[in-house]
Each structure stands twice: as C-alpha cells, then as structure tokens.
C-alpha cells in the first residue's frame, strides 16, 4: 500500500520487454533490497536487483498492456514511492499501485499559482470519480476538481510540480490512473444487495 506522496524521482536507464532499470539517488537505493515493493509512476513493482546508482524491476505483459510502462524509454523521468509503513505520515490517500487505466493529458493551463491538467479517462471509470474526491495520477495522490463523461481535471500546486515528473509533462503524454479503491468496494457491496 502507498499514499500517493512522491518521495523520489528516477530516470529510466534501460528498458527491455520485461525489465526496467531506473537510476535514482542513493538515499532511496539504501532502502531498496531484492524483493522490495516500489511504486514506479504508481505501478506497484518488485525490485529484482540493484547496484550503486540504479535498481531493476521486472514487469509482465499485463502490466505493459495496462499501464504507461509501454511508452517509457531511456531518459523518461518517473515518480517513485516506497510502501507505507506504520511510521508513514499518511497525507495522501490509500493507493494500491494497481493501475486501472492509462489516460492522456488533454490540456494544461495556468490558473493563479497552479496548473490545471485535464486528463482523458475511459467512461467506465468516471463513475468512481467525484468532485473533491481522490485520484492517483502517475502515483501522485490528487484531488479531482471536475468530472465529465470522459475526462477530469486536477490542480497541480508549485510544490507538486517541482517534486514530481509532472514538471516535464506535456499535452499528449500518457499517464497511469488508479481510481479510489474504496469507491470500487462500495459499488460491489451495493450491487450485491
């Protein structure tokens, strides 16, 4: 389980059909061991090896097909987060690292001190979004501003922009989306009654 509060950034060094090697800072690398879970752009993955300046993860075809990992290439900057612990300050929301879909950045515009991102989302997932509810975008816990049939908007404050990969995001980029798991559980309970 994660909180959607990004603690580190990494840069993809190498990609194969089944592996990613990601360079990151030594403070994060010290916390990683073989078998450690790590969220990479919101995807819960397992560390399989590490060296002095990078770590590697495996991914299966399902992950490649359902996430933006299919689009990353060497040089791509990614958000990184370690799993929550009993000592973690829980300031985001419950994030599983199980990506529901890939969305596309439709527009970015400035509003006051923030940027407003409009993101496309499959119509089948909009039922899980509510204004002022939570959404996980590339592993970042964000608050939904507005929702329509096939898109939603979120605001990015300067701190989030500076400390996540969103500072390099462009219109047309693909992003991982994870809707609030609680909404899916509530739907299942209601449907079963």
Domain ranges for the chain: 8-81, 101-183
Please give the CATH topology (third level) of the domain spanning 8-81. Answer: Elongation Factor Tu (Ef-tu); domain 3 (2.40.30)
Whether the CB-CB separation of 105 and 170 falls below 8 Å is answered with yes
Question: How far apart, in whole angstroms, are the C-alpha atoms of residue 157 and residue 175?
Answer: 18
Count of C-beta atoms within a 10 Å radius of residue 30 = 9
Q: What would the pLDDT profile of 129-138 be if each residue is shown by its tens digit?
A: 999 999 999 9
Question: How far apart, in whole angstroms, are the C-alpha atoms of residue 131 and residue 159?
Answer: 22
Q: What would the pLDDT profile of 19-62 be if each residue is shown by its tens digit?
A: 999 999 999 999 999 999 999 999 999 999 999 999 999 999 99
Judge: domain 101-183, CATH 1.10.290.10.
Answer: no
């Amino acid at each position: 389980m994660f909180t959607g509060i990004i603690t580190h950034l990494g840069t993809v060094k190498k990609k194969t059909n089944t592996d990613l090697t990601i360079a990151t800072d030594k403070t994060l690398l010290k916390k990683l061991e073989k078998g450690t879970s790590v969220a990479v752009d919101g995807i819960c993955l397992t560390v399989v090896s590490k060296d002095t300046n990078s770590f590697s993860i495996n991914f299966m075809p399902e992950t490649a097909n359902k996430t933006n990992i299919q689009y990353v290439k060497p040089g791509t900057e990614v958000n990184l987060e370690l799993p929550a612990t009993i000592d973690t300050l829980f300031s985001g929301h419950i994030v599983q690292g199980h990506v529901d879909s890939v969305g596309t950045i439709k527009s970015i515009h400035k509003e006051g001190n923030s940027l407003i991102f409009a993101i496309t989302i499959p119509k089948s997932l909009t039922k899980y979004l509510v204004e002022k509810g939570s959404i996980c975008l590339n592993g970042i816990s964000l608050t939904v501003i507005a929702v329509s049939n096939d898109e939603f908007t979120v605001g990015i404050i300067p701190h989030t922009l500076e400390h996540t990969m969103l500072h390099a995001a462009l219109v047309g980029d693909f992003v991982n989306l994870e809707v609030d798991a609680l909404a899916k559980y509530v739907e299942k309970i209601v449907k079963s009654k």
